[in-house]
Amino acid sequence: MNDTDTLSAAERDAVYRCIFARRDIRGQFLPDPVDEAVLARVLRAAHHAPSVGFMQPWDFLVIRDEGVRRRVHAAFTDASAEAAEMFEDERRRQYQRLKLEGILDAPLNICVTCDRSRMGPVVLGRTHQPDMDLFSAVCAVQNLWLAARAENLGVGWVSIIDPARLRAVLGIPPAIEIVAYLCVGTVSHFPERPELETAGWQSRLDLSQRVWFDGWNKRTGDESLTAHIDTSR
């Protein structure tokens, strides 16, 4: 490995900082427009995500029009009301108090899709795991999210929405899969902790209890790694 391949300690730390400071943004969006050059950099980072067979199955629908976003927001509102009824009693009331989207607050939305026919019927690396194209598109979402955080932009993933209704609003062809609907924009601040954690909805799981060695549910064999995990919180 030559010097041009090696990241400096500062560059390494910046990557980790972006990962740990990334948040799912809901109520902190500002109306300020996103600079075109910044948006282009974020989309370019998403386009450089890893993809199985280098099939690059993604497309990015940039949505600024308020009328379109209002139709998407109406679809979210209906889906969220349905979702609330799936929870019991206090959990339902807690759900109804949560801010779960920023569709109209953010200056733009981005819908990430997956074209499952791209590169033809047989794709290297997808022959035995056909969902690898979808997983690749999710990698593009993660790249976009981290690049946005590096640009001090917030991103919020809206998953409480009927895909068929979203498809109709955006005119997405039936053969194209919807992977993610994202709200993107500048923010008043980035929460110190995930909002669902702060609201008491869920806590972060203990990593040391989620790592196994040489087989499922096997915990013996590398206690030194477990010790490092415990001390790196």
Q: Indicate whether 231 pLDDT > 80.
A: no
Are 212 and 111 members of one domain? Answer: no
Q: Are residues 107 and 188 in the same domain?
A: yes
DSSP string, the chain: --GGGPPPHHHHHHHHHHHHH--B-SS-B--PPPPHHHHHHHHHHHHTS--GGG---EEEEEE--HHHHHHHHHHHHHHHHHHHTTS-HHHHHHHHHS----TTTSSEEEEEEEETTTT-S--TT-SS-TTHHHHHHHHHHHHHHHHHHHTT-EEEE---S-HHHHHHHHT--TTEEEEEEEEEE-BS---SS-HHHHTTS--PPPGGGS--SSSTT---S-HHHHHHHHH--
Asked if residue 196 and residue 209 are part of one domain, the reply reads: no
Express each pLDDT in 75-124 by its tens digit.
999 999 999 999 999 999 999 999 999 999 999 999 999 999 999 999 99
> What residue type is 97 in one-letter code?
R
Residues 114 and 209 in one domain: no
**CB-based burial of residue 13 (10 Å sphere; 0-12 exposed, 13-18 middle, 19+ buried)?**
exposed
CATH assignment at residue 67: 3.40.109.10
Residue 5: pLDDT band (50, 70, 90) is confident
Asked if 111 and 218 sit in the same domain, the reply is: no
Residues contacting 152, CB < 8 A, separation 6+? 186, 187
Residue 6 lies in a domain: no
Residue 102 and residue 184: Cα distance in Å, rounded?
8
Across the chain, mean pLDDT equals 95
225, 152: one domain: no
Give residue 103's pLDDT.
98
What does the pLDDT read at residue 92?
97
Domain count of the fold of the chain: 2
- Nearest Cα neighbor of 80 from 96, 104, 103 is 96
- Residue 75 belongs to what domain range? 24-202
What pTM value is reported for the model? 0.94
Two structure tokens written together for 57: 């199955």
Residue 18 lies in a domain: no
| Domain assignment of residue 14, yes or no | no
